[in-house]
Amino acid sequence: MQYFNLHTHVYTRRENILELVNQYPQEFDAALPNYSIGIHPLFIDESRLESDFEVIEQKISSPSCLAIGECGLDKRSETAFEIQLQVLERQFLLAEKHQKAVVIHCVHAFQELVALKNKLKLTIPIVIHGFSKKEQLAKQLLDNGFYLSFGKNLLQNPEMETVFVNTPNDRFFLETDMVEEGIEEVYALAAKYKKITITELQQLISNNFNSVFKNKQ
């Protein structure tokens, strides 16, 4: 594994990239070699919740399932926030039971996310994907045990440089999500910001991968 892409919706089939491809229960693709599976807060369908959870429970034990997610909280969602909290809590508890990492989507609800993690006393790694906020929030999340994943906003917002540079080397990942740029471009900018070589960055992220995803390579 030369590159690890923590979160993408497109499987590129390139041998030098391990891609954690996002899957939704109702659109499951068994052909993907490594995936996360979860119920996104924008796409909660209460009439389908139980069948969605059945699919997640069927797939979570597969070696190809590296994480639960993306799941989380989003105050833009039409789904009532209390329902979002319940759905996320169920996914957290499943992840804890099976000792899988969780990939989180969070919009305008970080305080509630931290509170839920602490209430449940979770021990599993939790990664905030697509982190785009200020250093104060980054520090709070890191202090509460979260990992941060950087992608689109690192490429598009120069103000993210300081946040990224100040994120400890053992607590971050890189991703593409849905941007056109490849993971190599994200790595190149990240290495520049950290003032290290691509090879050194690859080793850092490989170490983080082994720590979070239990040596699945």
Annotated binding site: 70, 105, 129, 177
Instruction: Find out whether 137 and 148 touch, Cβ atoms under 8 Å.
Output: no
Instruction: Find out whether 164 and 185 touch, Cβ atoms under 8 Å.
Output: no
Tokens of 119: 């209430």
What span, in angstroms and rounded, lies between the C-alpha atoms of 132 and 155?
A: 11
**What is the dihedral angle through the alpha carbons of 44, 46, 48, 54, rounded to the nearest 10 degrees?**
80
Residue 19 amino acid letter = E
Tokens 């169920």 correspond to 90
Exposure pattern of 135-149 as b/e (b: 16+ CB <10 Å)? Answer: eebbeebbeeebbbb
Residue numbers belonging to the annotated binding site for a divalent metal cation: 70, 105, 129, 177
What span, in angstroms and rounded, lies between the C-alpha atoms of 138 and 99?
A: 24
Question: Distances from the Cα of 119 to the Cαs of 71, 114, 185, in angstroms?
Answer: 18, 9, 38
Q: Would you tell me how many other CB atoms lie within 10 Å of the CB of residue 5?
A: 28
